Structure 1
């Protein structure tokens, strides 16, 4: 046999004032008052409290606190996402000083390559900077692939020697 549905006084007050609580939440700018009212209902159903002297004021206080908790949680989440995004971008972006150092180093390396002669410098730039295959570089310059390989070896050796001298200094 089914047991009769016994509602506490607070549950009855909640059900009678549900629409008023929704209006209360909307007036205070709640994003989803229906969701908050559902959460209030769950709390009222699970609560094991004694008689409440001012039940509607008690329900409004619960509604207000839930709304504040949601607002704080949203702000914390936004701040965390913003901080993460900012940190990620800052970690991946080189500083202006790093950019200047890399630009300076690239200029020096290109000067080292230019001393090897125009063909070796061009081979290196086309292959390593522009990303052309050795065969494409050979065709473009009208030389053999073995000549391109030889020029690249000379360029790699010159850059390596320059780095060794730089690191010793």
Structure 2
């Protein structure tokens, strides 16, 4: 049956599609479309099933990304990737999990669709340049150029300080405690002087429409939304009326610790940090309910799936 050949490769196809697209919902759609194509081919003529499916998935993802670019350019405020759960991350998947870290996916948004696919397939999945060229329909020489340009952009755009997982988790936990403590001074102390807050509400929830810069301004923002009035305004912005109890925990999201906030079983906010030495250099705040729904589907801290 077609399903018997397809199912063992579905996870890898989702891995590839998500890294090319940055959206879990679109990755699911691409894999579904790949299934429809697989169900109609003469499977006896396919020598390498995984190679065939990864190629189809990659090409579909590239085409979809081209269509999505215009929509993202008119997005209300900063655009951040859809989130996925990477908790727990099995040891053999740690390296793969690093390829979905928010800071990296944000940089990948600056690449062309072909550059992004070349980077993902070569750097994250270990395909040779010749193999990548076959997937994206380019010569090996052209693929090398695409991959080199992509690596240069990523090197320039990624944070220079690469924190280990334990340090990042400790800093995230301190940030969570400072938010609940409501002490502006304690919050500011955690931030680098040039800290940046990038928020994504998608026009559906309260979030900054522009990047906020500077320790004092970012600290005041989090102090304001952490108090009872700020929390209530946020709940109203996402359609939750009346008092509600928040549940906040540090969980593995996109390959790194992040603060996940819930009301009941509903995830309402995710805050992830990027360290800069001993302090926080960047804060990513995702409030768009659509992007939080993808985190729920992938099992944010409540299931055994991994990226």
Q: Same fold (TM over 0.5)?
A: no
Say which structure is richer in helix: 1
Q: Give the number of the structure whose alpha-carbon radius of gyration is greater.
A: 1
- Normalized against structure 1, the TM-score is what? 0.36
Q: Bigger relative contact order, structure 1 or 2, given CA contacts below 8 A and separation 6+?
A: 2
